[in-house]
Structure 1
Amino acid sequence: MLFRHFEALIDVFKASPDVEPPPGLLPFYAHYLRQVWPLMLAVLVVGFFAALIEVALFSFLGRLIDMAQATPSAAFFDQYHGELLWMLLVVLLIRPLVFGLHDLLANQAISPSLTNLIRWQNHRYVLQQSLSFFHNDFAGRIAQRIMQTGPALRDSAMQVVDALWHVLVYAGSALYLFAAADLRLMLPLSLWLAGYCLLLWYFVPRIKNRSARASAARSKLMGRVVDGYSNVTTLKLFAHTREEEGYAREAMQELLDKVRLQTRTVTALDFSVTCLNGLLIATTASLALWLWSQALISSGAIALAVGLVIRINGMAEWIMWVVNGIFENVGTVQDGMRTIVQPRQVLDQPHAEPLRVSQGTVHFEHIHFHYGKPGGVIAGFDLRVRPGEKIGLVGPSGAGKSTLVSLLLRLYDLQDGRILIDGQDIATVTQESLRAQIGVVTQDCSLLHRSIRDNLRYGKPDASDAELLEAVRKARADAFIPLLDDGQGGRGFDARVGERGVKLSGGQRQRIAIARVLLKDAPILVLDEATSALDSEVEAAIQESLDTLMQGKTVIAIAHRLSTIARLDRLVVIDQGRIVETGSHRQLIERGGLYARLWQHQTGGFVGVE
């Protein structure tokens, strides 16, 4: 019950503004830590009292020696029983309670919850990045940075709040106790503190910079390794195991070199602190003994001084590793910020309204688009698709057909022009509502590494089992799904399909994708090479299902296999991002233009054949 109370102090999944984290390091830390500031303050206060109790134990030790020397043994307990009971109370009750409260705050309240709060908010932000964001980086590196930033930020913040604060209180209390015994006892500790700060001033920036480089190299290695695993089929098909080993080895060698530079700095700092600590113990003990020999301090003061500096020696060694850990974690956070702190390229406008589709008219109105390269991929494209009309986009590879689909889904923003659906500019409506009104079956029907049922319910999350079965039957997937076995206990609809659906054939993946769109039942339908992975027999079998799917919908279909779209209401021929022909199949054949040449190539007029 006590554990649950502390574990519930941070709501990991609380409602929070979905905003870009600030770019600066300190503002980035503050963005997350201000959400849990009462707990961080509590750790600070409890740490203060924990440090005072630790110093008080050494003060008690010195006091105990002085009392024992000044009092006959027979009268010792009678004279000091009150003070001894107070010492016992501190050791047996107050100290365990304070340290226990500290552990509950650090380990139960903050450690797991703050880590996952940071991960959750970063994941939410990155998940809504534009498509180009994910195309420009390794998926493994993005995931690595999301996963490692949370614990690194938490650890470095806790080490500053807890460990460094503890040492400051400890050193300040020690100086006070030394001054109470004899002001001269403060001199070795004061010089040590100055020397210790100088060492940190020299070494810490170097540790920080080298830790950041090591973290970047670590993310690079992770990206390369995951990239190889994700494309292991290609690796084996081309027999490139040696090349892949070399690719990973290069990144691993870079990481090794940068970690070695980091550890050299740490070793140099460790040696320097050890020498400084030896000087502190020797000078403090020598000075204390000299003052005692001059009858200026008691023997208890010797025990207090030597005991405290030995304890400080141990803490100095510990704090060195803490400082190293802090800046190693800061370097990891800085590396993570390279991915996390990037503005989204495609944003909903403030107060964007949901898209409402009543008819399904689609109008590409003089649009211009390029992928950040000179020259337009789409230049001045203008096309109006009437409600319920079924058009086919035709053209050679690279003509811009799939780009038009991406623009309709607003995966990218236009450079100029507008795309209207029932008169509503898609740039002014919410992206979620836009994509909810468009069903898409793409050429690359990759699936999620989940069960068949979970993949189907992406089309309609609340679909009943009866609706699933009907969609599967219409997509002609009911013959193979009951036979699936993932080798891990999942069968039929519960079978997991592997990463990107690799456990299924191309045709099976595409039929699952078609069933998913059947469930979605959106008023606008996009078929981007929807039957490209099916053989002619299977394609013919599900053509009736596609005809049923297209009824009452506005349809935009892309296909290199022209026979699959020849029966559509209108064909639009595109070349270099512009419309060069439009009409029915028969009209375009009679015209003898680009479409006729493409049709001739597919029906017998191959290169070299007259």
Structure 2
Amino acid sequence: MFEPLFRRFERLVDPFAETPLEAPPSGFMAFCWYYTRPVWPILAGVACLGAMIAVLEVYIFTYIGDLVTWLEGADRASFLSENWPRLALMAAVLLLARPAVEVVWQLLFHQGLMGTFPMSIRFRAHRYLLRQSVSFYQNDFAGRIANKLMQTALSVREVVSKFADILVYVSVYFTASVVVVSGADPWFGALFMGWLGAYLVTLRHFIPKLRDVSKDQADARALMTGHVVDAYTNITTVKLFAHTAREETYARGSMQAFLDTVFGQMRLVTKLNVVLVLINMALLFGTGALAIALWQVSAVTTGQIAIAIALVLRLQGMSHWILWELAGLFENVGTVQDGIGTLAREREVQDVPNATALAVPNGEVTFEGIRFHYGKTSSVIENLSLTIRPGEKIGLIGRSGAGKSTLVNLLLRFYDLEGGRILIDGQDIALTRQDLIRQNVGVVTQDTSLLHRSIFENVAYGKPEASEADVIDALKKAHAWDFVATLTDQAGRVGLAAHVGERGVKLSGGQRQRIAIARVFLKDAPILVLDEATSALDSEVEAAIQESLFDLMKGKTVIAIAHRLSTISAMDRLIVLDKGRIIEEGDHQTLQAAGGLYAHLWAHQSGGFLDSAAEASRETA
């Protein structure tokens, strides 16, 4: 019966509406308004209805006082005939007007606001966070970022809704109460205003303290969650090193820090409650004493006394409610302020205004005098120039820290250059859209992580419109179909439908790598990056997949990084890096004959891998 009505109000706001992907303002009020703008008409309606409810409730108390006065001097036989219009009006207020306003308020507040408002914030903030720079995620816990997203969305809703509804309701209610009791005698109004002054002074003293401790609490909660999630995410490492006790201690420290903020908050709440009881009892005592004194000189009626006492008792109950609402308000203010630091952070790497499209007909890659240093004092890459011809296959070689992976990250524009240019088919990547760069570069990395979704979804990530046949074909090319066809997860899903677990933990390293390779097969980008692409594969599987990798490289510009030099020795050209500079280049035979760093690294191979111990001894010799 009520479902269509509920649905109508639930659809007043579309929480998934497309909005500009801009950084939210960093100021508190501007930040809240940025996310509140889509729902402000509903908030305005809620505030107006709240004000109407407050006026009606005070009117009801006034009517009860009048009723006492009428009954005190009325004739029982003629009471109804003389007062039926007023009684009928009150019946209409109680049975029609007040319930009708309440129904509309409930629908607007709970159906129109409480669900869609925070979801709108989450979706908009999530869209922005997804486009944050890689360094943003490297410098924080994933669980901490997610926690701030969820907490901040709810806190913005609470802050805004309390201002728009509760504070409006309370302000109107108190103002109407003062007007009513002052109509009986101005001294009643003076008492109420005195109570308000004491109440505001109390809140002024305690609420900022609660706000500050709540902000600390929100940060401590996020840190505690981050520590816990970090252990769960890396549970295999924790188990391998038998460090469960160490993780307990690690988490206990952040839990204790969070608990300390809770203790501080509760001490403030206890003090505040005690002070509040004192001023409430003072108001009740003063109102009662004044009522008796005025009644003795016939200055007020018993009905007016009933109104004053009823409103005092109502305000006492409201004062505790207001206390917790304001405490909650400022707790949420602290949470929002804490979340602003994460959600409103500017992206380090941004598309320029009117960024151009990127066309890659050939796949030529040019590095022109590039310089980059990750914010360090010494550069990781300094004045490096390199041109990779269309369809050329190059191998990047060098010791750890030579700048190989950095070069790839700069090509993908995970970071902005500090000097020089990178061109793809003559187009400066700093002037084009980041997503178009990455759409045209296929990457298989050493640290392969998969989404906690099905095999099909993971492989089709390279080409979302791919059919099941396309996915199976890519898996076969990557020599992954044999094991995928037999996979079963805990939910009983098999083959392509089987889920791989968080970061692909249900698969072996080699299986994850082959899924990643299949994904790049399907993507079929004109530029291919292999960053230790076969490092997780055993020799037998690597030998089986090498042919497929060569098939994948056909017609593409390839940049390959490998410590296992045998896997890239057949490349068209080998580039040897050292301390961010190119020190040698040529094919395998030329570099080996030159007797430089490449020849040294090749000579110290052991089973196809760099002999780290020999290398270390050479460097310290």
Name the TM tier (shorter chain): over 0.9
**What's the counterpart of residue 10 of structure 1?**
13
In the TM superposition, what is the alpha-carbon distance from 1:603 to its structure 2 partner? 5.0
Matches within 5 A, 1:137-152: 137-152=140-155
Matches within 5 A, 1:61-76: 61-76=64-79
Q: In structure 2, how many angstroms separate the alpha carbons of the residues matched to 1:317 and 1:474?
A: 69
Contact 1:354 1:434 (C-alpha < 8 Å) held by counterparts: no
Residue type of the alignment partner of 1:583? G
Pick from 60, 80, 85: which aligns with 2:83?
80
Residue type of the alignment partner of 2:500? V
SS at match of 2:462: coil
Pick from 54, 58, 62: which aligns with 2:57?
54
Structure 1 runs (4+) deviating above 3 angstroms are 603-610
Residue type of the alignment partner of 1:87? M
Q: In structure 2, how many angstroms separate the alpha carbons of the residues matched to 1:583 and 1:523?
A: 23
In the TM superposition, what is the alpha-carbon distance from 1:34 to its structure 2 partner? 2.5
In the TM superposition, what is the alpha-carbon distance from 1:581 to its structure 2 partner? 0.8
SS at match of 1:67: helix
**What's the counterpart of residue 122 of structure 1?**
125
SS at match of 2:116: helix
Pick from 238, 242, 245: which aligns with 1:239?
242
**What's the counterpart of residue 328 of structure 1?**
331
Pick from 526, 529, 539: which aligns with 2:542?
539
1:96-121 per-residue CA deviation (whole Å, 9 max, x = no partner) reads 11111111111111111110111111
Pick from 458, 477, 491: which aligns with 1:488?
491
In the TM superposition, what is the alpha-carbon distance from 1:187 to its structure 2 partner? 2.0
Contact 1:130 1:411 (C-alpha < 8 Å) held by counterparts: yes
Pick from 178, 184, 190: which aligns with 2:181?
178
The count of aligned residue pairs is: 610
Q: In structure 2, how many angstroms separate the alpha carbons of the residues matched to 1:560 and 1:448?
A: 27
Q: In structure 2, how many angstroms separate the alpha carbons of the residues matched to 1:190 and 1:402?
A: 70
SS at match of 2:420: strand
Pick from 395, 399, 418: which aligns with 2:402?
399
Is 1:552 matched with 2:537?
Answer: no
Residue type of the alignment partner of 2:595? G
SS at match of 1:273: helix
SS at match of 1:269: helix
1:459-496 per-residue CA deviation (whole Å, 9 max, x = no partner) reads 00000111111111111001100111111222111111
Q: In structure 2, how many angstroms separate the alpha carbons of the residues matched to 1:487 and 1:396?
A: 43
In the TM superposition, what is the alpha-carbon distance from 1:421 to its structure 2 partner? 0.5
Is 1:415 matched with 2:418?
Answer: yes
TM-score (norm 2): 0.97
SS at match of 1:480: helix
Q: In structure 2, how many angstroms separate the alpha carbons of the residues matched to 1:458 and 1:221?
A: 33
Q: In structure 1, how many angstroms separate the alpha carbons of the residues matched to 2:418 and 2:458?
A: 34
**What's the counterpart of residue 48 of structure 2?**
45
**What's the counterpart of residue 158 of structure 1?**
161
Contact 1:355 1:429 (C-alpha < 8 Å) held by counterparts: yes
Residue type of the alignment partner of 2:68? I
**What's the counterpart of residue 570 of structure 1?**
573
**What's the counterpart of residue 318 of structure 1?**
321
1:171-230 per-residue CA deviation (whole Å, 9 max, x = no partner) reads 111111112111122121111011111111111111111111111111111111111111
1:266-293 per-residue CA deviation (whole Å, 9 max, x = no partner) reads 1111111111001111111221122112
Is 1:497 matched with 2:489?
Answer: no
1:531-572 per-residue CA deviation (whole Å, 9 max, x = no partner) reads 111111111111111111111111111111111111111111
1:230-252 per-residue CA deviation (whole Å, 9 max, x = no partner) reads 11111111111111111111111
**What's the counterpart of residue 286 of structure 1?**
289
Q: In structure 1, how many angstroms separate the alpha carbons of the residues matched to 2:396 and 2:34?
A: 48
**What's the counterpart of residue 579 of structure 1?**
582
SS at match of 2:394: strand
Residue type of the alignment partner of 2:506? K
SS at match of 2:481: coil
Residue type of the alignment partner of 2:228? V
Q: In structure 2, how many angstroms separate the alpha carbons of the residues matched to 1:319 and 1:489?
A: 52
**What's the counterpart of residue 592 of structure 1?**
595
Q: In structure 2, how many angstroms separate the alpha carbons of the residues matched to 1:280 and 1:504?
A: 70
SS at match of 1:457: helix
Contact 2:351 2:431 (C-alpha < 8 Å) held by counterparts: yes
**What's the counterpart of residue 434 of structure 1?**
437
Matches within 5 A, 1:185-334: 185-334=188-337
SS at match of 2:604: helix
Q: In structure 2, how many angstroms separate the alpha carbons of the residues matched to 1:548 and 1:265?
A: 69
Is 1:458 matched with 2:433?
Answer: no
Residue type of the alignment partner of 1:239? A
Q: In structure 1, how many angstroms separate the alpha carbons of the residues matched to 2:371 and 2:606?
A: 34
TM-score (norm 1): 0.98
**What's the counterpart of residue 390 of structure 2?**
387
Q: In structure 2, how many angstroms separate the alpha carbons of the residues matched to 1:266 and 1:161?
A: 24
Q: In structure 2, how many angstroms separate the alpha carbons of the residues matched to 1:484 and 1:354?
A: 41
Q: In structure 1, how many angstroms separate the alpha carbons of the residues matched to 2:472 and 2:127?
A: 33
Q: In structure 2, how many angstroms separate the alpha carbons of the residues matched to 1:476 and 1:15?
A: 41
1:385-417 per-residue CA deviation (whole Å, 9 max, x = no partner) reads 001111111111111111111000000011000
SS at match of 2:115: helix
Q: In structure 1, how many angstroms separate the alpha carbons of the residues matched to 2:296 and 2:5?
A: 54
SS at match of 1:252: helix
Residue type of the alignment partner of 1:246? T
**What's the counterpart of residue 99 of structure 1?**
102
Residue type of the alignment partner of 1:598? L
In the TM superposition, what is the alpha-carbon distance from 1:20 to its structure 2 partner? 0.9
**What's the counterpart of residue 377 of structure 1?**
380
Residue type of the alignment partner of 2:521? L
In the TM superposition, what is the alpha-carbon distance from 1:597 to its structure 2 partner? 1.0
Higher alpha-carbon deviation: 132-141 or 162-171: 162-171
Q: In structure 2, how many angstroms separate the alpha carbons of the residues matched to 1:483 and 1:603?
A: 35
Residue type of the alignment partner of 1:475? A
**What's the counterpart of residue 351 of structure 2?**
348
SS at match of 1:23: coil
Q: In structure 1, how many angstroms separate the alpha carbons of the residues matched to 2:508 and 2:36?
A: 48
SS at match of 2:533: coil
Q: In structure 2, how many angstroms separate the alpha carbons of the residues matched to 1:130 and 1:167?
A: 45
**What's the counterpart of residue 169 of structure 1?**
172
Q: In structure 2, how many angstroms separate the alpha carbons of the residues matched to 1:164 and 1:263?
A: 24
Q: In structure 1, how many angstroms separate the alpha carbons of the residues matched to 2:186 and 2:407?
A: 81
Q: In structure 2, how many angstroms separate the alpha carbons of the residues matched to 1:331 and 1:259?
A: 14
What is the CA RMSD across the aligned residues, in angstroms?
A: 1.4
Q: In structure 2, how many angstroms separate the alpha carbons of the residues matched to 1:545 and 1:456?
A: 16
Gaps of 5+ in 2: none
SS at match of 1:74: coil
Pick from 4, 25, 29: which aligns with 1:26?
29
**What's the counterpart of residue 525 of structure 1?**
528
Residue type of the alignment partner of 2:224? L
Higher alpha-carbon deviation: 467-476 or 29-38: 29-38
SS at match of 2:105: helix
Contact 2:26 2:341 (C-alpha < 8 Å) held by counterparts: no
Q: In structure 2, how many angstroms separate the alpha carbons of the residues matched to 1:71 and 1:210?
A: 58
In the TM superposition, what is the alpha-carbon distance from 1:296 to its structure 2 partner? 1.1
Q: In structure 1, how many angstroms separate the alpha carbons of the residues matched to 2:500 and 2:237?
A: 19
Q: In structure 2, how many angstroms separate the alpha carbons of the residues matched to 1:267 and 1:106?
A: 31
Q: In structure 2, how many angstroms separate the alpha carbons of the residues matched to 1:586 and 1:603?
A: 19
